Structure 1
Amino acid sequence: MAGGFTETAFIKKLGELNNSSQSIQTLSLWLIHHRKHYSTVVKIWIRELIKAKENKKLTFMYLANDVIQNSRKKGPEYGQEYGLHLKKAFEHMSRSDEKTKNSLDRLLTIWNDRGIYDGILISEFKRALVLGKDEPPQKRSKPNDKKSRSPTRERRKSETEKIVENSDGSIETHVHLSPHTPPGDPPEPEELIRAIQELELNIASSDEIVRERIAQLPREVSEVSLISKIEDKEAAEKLSVQVGDAVHLLSQYNMRLAAEMEHRKKVAIMMREYLHVQEELLAQAERNLEEYQEKLLKVFSVRSELNNHIRNLPDLTQLPNVTDGLAPLPSAEHLFMQ
């Protein structure tokens, strides 16, 4: 599941998604790893949910649930972004059979109990699941009507909002989170490679030319005891120029070394976060491998039993040929003859 995020890759993974917990958790972990693309992920998710076959729609909802709940510790981006699209998803799922709707109702109960979304939003989702799409509103509330504002909107005022008025008179609010990568967000492979390449190109500690210039500085610029040997003004002024050049050279080199040290720290953090995610993905892959190995053993067992059963079946080629007709059955008279 490792690799950079692309829309094509995500759509492909959605196509391969099945209703097993391993499949859902593996894709969920991959999406959380690439959570800086949360907006694109959710838009593709709702689009593919609507296009998906009926027997996969519930799996899409379970995927969203896993991403929303397991990404809470690392950042609210997914939960907030899904919150903007879930009503549409539940409206779409209102056409599902009763068994699917009951499963979604239990999911909403879990969200309510765990405080994933506030009660008012959960009620909106439940209403959408039961009734489907709302009719266009006949009357809009005034912007300064405090009673008409939902707690969800009040809670999002700290974020960037864009209010769009549709042609039918309804109002939509689009929330845009900060475009910056959240703190601690694991880097994409391309970002990590680029950071390492930049470090290799700007390594001050490996600049042999500057280090040689520093090594060739005269002793007089670094040893105070030699100042007493200066006998005339001309020698003093010459040493002053040499000291000034040395100070400039060393100051610039020290600044480069400090920048290199900061860059190394940044790369070290990026590598640590990237390796941590890769370890999680590796553990998930190992669990998947173990699960599929168990399934493979079961398939082998069934195949062995089937082969044994086939070998114990009678050989049909040894049965008498009935296509040409059988001898007539004996009459009752022949059966009771002495």
Structure 2
Amino acid sequence: MAGFTETAFVKKLTDLNNSSQSIQTLSFWLIHHRKHYTTVVKLWIRELLKAKESKKLTFMYLANDVIQNSRKKGPEYGQEFGLHLKKAFEHMSEAEEKTINSLERLLTIWSERGIYNESQITDFRSALRTYIDRDVMQRCVTDRVAGKDGPPPKKIKTNEPKISSKKKEKTENDVTVEVVQVDGMVETHVHLSPHTPARDPPEPEELIKAIQDLENNIASADEGVRQRIAQLPPSVTEVSSISNIQDKEQAEKLSEQVNEAVTLLNEYNSRLGTEMEHRKKVSSMIRDFLQVQQELLAQAEQNLEEYQDKLIKVYNVRNELKSHIQNLPDLTQLPNVTDGLAPLPSAEHLFMP
């Protein structure tokens, strides 16, 4: 993978387009070079402020992909972006309605998944509404000064998240596919890296270690302790045996046995409780891991289908090209002009009877 330089990153931002493949490829490159996160975010906000209106939303999608998919390997990205996102949302508050809707939806996702805390989300939303609120207030003041009521002002946005024009569909694997409009064009955003759920999915190494720890500390499979419990004498397990006590010595001996049994059972119950909690944790990790793998599988299958369609089109073009070449005249059958052509007939010969 190419090394990181400011020039290379700016060039990649210039070449960035709103396709999922372009966004995800650059996101992967940035996460790989996460040690340069401060420079990355500084250049990102600088280029966003001077980018064309049609690319600003793409810059935000890139930031979202980096923030969500770097939470395990580079959480510093989320923190650094958080310092500049308010400025970015305020800058984009003058965008078109469909762009505002997309940004509102993005904030809702961050809130639901705990990407940023509610205080930060509120600040971002307030920055996004800055231009609209200011425009409405200015029109109200102007109308009052002019002494006319004028038309009712547009409804000021509230704190309720505004759902964008994105269309959600559920696949067979329960994968959410979002269809958005970017610059008037309908686009399906597919990410090779899955969206991060409320709990970060475990890395394969973490899951393997958790399963191995569970296997090495299974209290329910401890045959030795279970056998000791099963072999406890009836005098310890049955209350009726107390009536058989004849003297103080027997009572003290039974009390000692009961205390030992209580200690044994308490320790074993504690181990079983720990095992149960560990099993719940591993079960949750497996569920999150499988969910991510199902998303990856569904997205890979969709990408495979798209590329297979493209391959068929390329094959068709190649066959058409071969057919066209075969129908061209055979240049080898033409006269050899390098040796000179026969002289043209004279006027006499043309008009001779």
Distance 1:309 1:257 in 2: 76
**TM-aligned CA distance change 1:88 to 1:269, over 3 Å:** same
Give the residue type in structure 1 aligned to 2:317. V
Distance 2:346 2:79 in 1: 88
Match of 1:311 in 2: 326
**TM-aligned CA distance change 1:44 to 1:188, over 3 Å:** farther
CA RMSD of aligned residues (A): 5.0
Match of 2:99 in 1: 110
Distance 1:222 1:41 in 2: 67
Match of 1:23 in 2: 21
Is the 1:214–1:250 Cα contact (8 Å) retained in structure 2?
yes
Match of 1:162 in 2: none
Normalised TM-score (structure 2): 0.55
Give the residue type in structure 1 aligned to 2:58. Y
Give the residue type in structure 2 aligned to 1:188. E
Give the residue type in structure 1 aligned to 2:208. I
Structure 2 unaligned segments of length 5 or more: list them: 48-53, 108-123, 132-195
Distance 1:69 1:206 in 2: 44
What displacement does 1:119 show? Answer: 5.9
Q: Where do 1:223-262 residues align within 5 Å?
A: 223-262=238-277
Is the 1:108–1:122 Cα contact (8 Å) retained in structure 2?
no
Normalised TM-score (structure 1): 0.58
Match of 2:237 in 1: 222
Match of 1:82 in 2: 81
What displacement does 1:292 show? Answer: 0.7
Distance 2:336 2:86 in 1: 69
Distance 1:66 1:216 in 2: 65
Q: Where do 1:1-338 residues align within 5 Å?
A: 19=17, 21-24=19-22, 43=38, 45-46=40-41, 62=58, 64-65=60-61, 68=64, 81-85=80-84, 110-111=99-100, 114-115=103-104, 116=107, 117-118=124-125, 120=127, 184-338=199-353
Distance 1:48 1:299 in 2: 38
Q: Identify the structure with bigger relative contact order (alpha carbons < 8 Å, sequence gap 6+).
A: 1
What displacement does 1:261 show? Answer: 0.3
Deviations 1:104-128, CA, capped at 9 Å, x for gaps? 985898248844534647889xxxx
Structure 1 unaligned segments of length 5 or more: list them: 1-6, 53-57, 91-102, 125-180
Give the residue type in structure 2 aligned to 1:239. L
What displacement does 1:21 show? Answer: 2.7
Distance 1:225 1:86 in 2: 73
Deviations 1:161-212, CA, capped at 9 Å, x for gaps? xxxxxxxxxxxxxxxxxxxx99522222222222212211211111122112
Distance 1:186 1:44 in 2: 28
Matched positions, count: 250
Distance 1:67 1:306 in 2: 43
